[in-house]
């Protein structure tokens, strides 16, 4: 333990967060205690509280990490293409890849996040998570406006409601496909990929300009 004490504070925090992440994925956040996290990370409970005030602080760091990953996926998808439909397809592929690689994180970014920073009763990670979420929304806003200017998307889209519906529909269908993959195959005869492609096409046509 003497060697571990000499390690930077950031190393200890990372060790604890990694152990907590695995437990949250296995047991769920509510069923995981600080005792569980301390044991999994190889620290005493007293030492754990040196680095984190409570479980909520650990969760906030994981949520922030997940939001940063989502930001990278969305940014990459939008930067790789110029055509509106190709950019939309890239967003869809990126979100599917993100959900498949980080299913726990995908669920976390769909949860409610703190938006009230007037009081002092919030964590700094919560503020950063909110800011990154706003950056993602701004990227989607530019995607929609660009598509509207090109005549690819409907001119009557109300941007902010469109953004939230966009997220709700895409994330909802991706999570549904992940949860109901066997049922979809049995009842519809569709693979997860086929089901998603059909759903993504429906969503795109709901925002696309009508062909003349």
Over residues 1-53, the pLDDT tens digits come to 444 556 788 899 999 999 999 999 888 888 999 999 999 999 999 999 999 99
At residue 12, the pLDDT reads 92
Q: What is the pLDDT of residue 5?
A: 56
pTM exceeding the 0.75 threshold for the entire prediction: yes
Q: How far apart are CA 190 and CA 181, in angstroms?
A: 9
The HSE-up count of residue 154 (CA atoms within 13 Å, CB side) is 12
Comparing 212 with 23, which gets the higher pLDDT? 23
User: In 3-state terms, the chain is what percent helix, strand and coil (to 5)?
Assistant: 75, 0, 25
Query: Per-residue pLDDT for 201 more than 70?
Result: yes
Neighbours of 105 (CB within 10 A): 21
Residues 61, 52 contacting (CB under 8 angstroms): no
pLDDT above 60 (res 200) = yes
d(CA 47, CA 1): 11
How high is the pLDDT of residue 4? 54
User: What pLDDT sits at residue 104?
Assistant: 82
Note every long-range contact of 156-161, with CB atoms under 8 Å and residues 24 or more positions apart, other chains counting: 157/207
- Helices vs. strands in the chain: H and E counts, helices first: 11, 0
pLDDT at 123: 74
182, 178, 16: which is closest to 104 by C-alpha? 178
Q: Which is nearest to 74 in space by CA: 125, 135, 115?
A: 135
Residue 41's pLDDT is what?
93
Q: What is the pLDDT of residues 114-165, one digit of tens each?
A: 555 566 566 788 888 889 989 999 999 999 999 999 999 999 999 999 999 9
Over residues 67-105, the pLDDT tens digits come to 888 899 899 889 888 899 999 999 999 899 889 888 887
Closest to 181 (Cα-Cα) out of 199, 193, 166, 168: 193
CA distance 86 to 106: 23
Q: Residue 212 has what pLDDT?
A: 47
| Angle 56-58-61 from CA coordinates, rounded to 5° | 110
pLDDT tens digits, residue range 104-126? 878 877 765 555 556 656 678 88
Question: Do 103 and 179 touch, CB atoms closer than 8 A?
Answer: no
């Amino acid at each position: 333990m003497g060697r571990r004490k000499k390690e930077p504070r950031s190393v200890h925090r990372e060790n604890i967060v990694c152990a907590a992440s695995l437990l949250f994925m296995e047991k769920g956040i509510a069923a995981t205690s600080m005792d569980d996290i301390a044991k999994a990370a190889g620290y005493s409970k007293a030492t754990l509280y040196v680095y984190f005030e409570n479980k909520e602080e650990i969760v906030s760091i994981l949520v922030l990490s997940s939001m940063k990953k989502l930001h990278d996926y969305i940014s990459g998808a939008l930067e790789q293409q110029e055509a509106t439909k190709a950019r939309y397809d890239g967003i869809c592929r990126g979100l599917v890849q993100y959900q498949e690689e980080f299913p726990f994180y995908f669920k976390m970014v769909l949860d409610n996040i703190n938006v009230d920073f007037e009081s002092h009763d919030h964590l700094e990670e919560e503020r950063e998570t909110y800011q990154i979420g706003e950056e993602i929304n701004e990227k989607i806003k530019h995607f929609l406006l660009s598509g509207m200017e090109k005549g690819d998307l409907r001119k009557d889209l109300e941007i902010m409601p469109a953004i939230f519906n966009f997220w709700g529909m895409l994330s909802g269908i991706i999570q549904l496909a992940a949860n109901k993959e066997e049922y979809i195959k049995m009842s519809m005869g569709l693979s997860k990929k086929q089901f998603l492609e059909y759903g993504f096409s429906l969503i795109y046509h709901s925002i696309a300009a009508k062909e003349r």
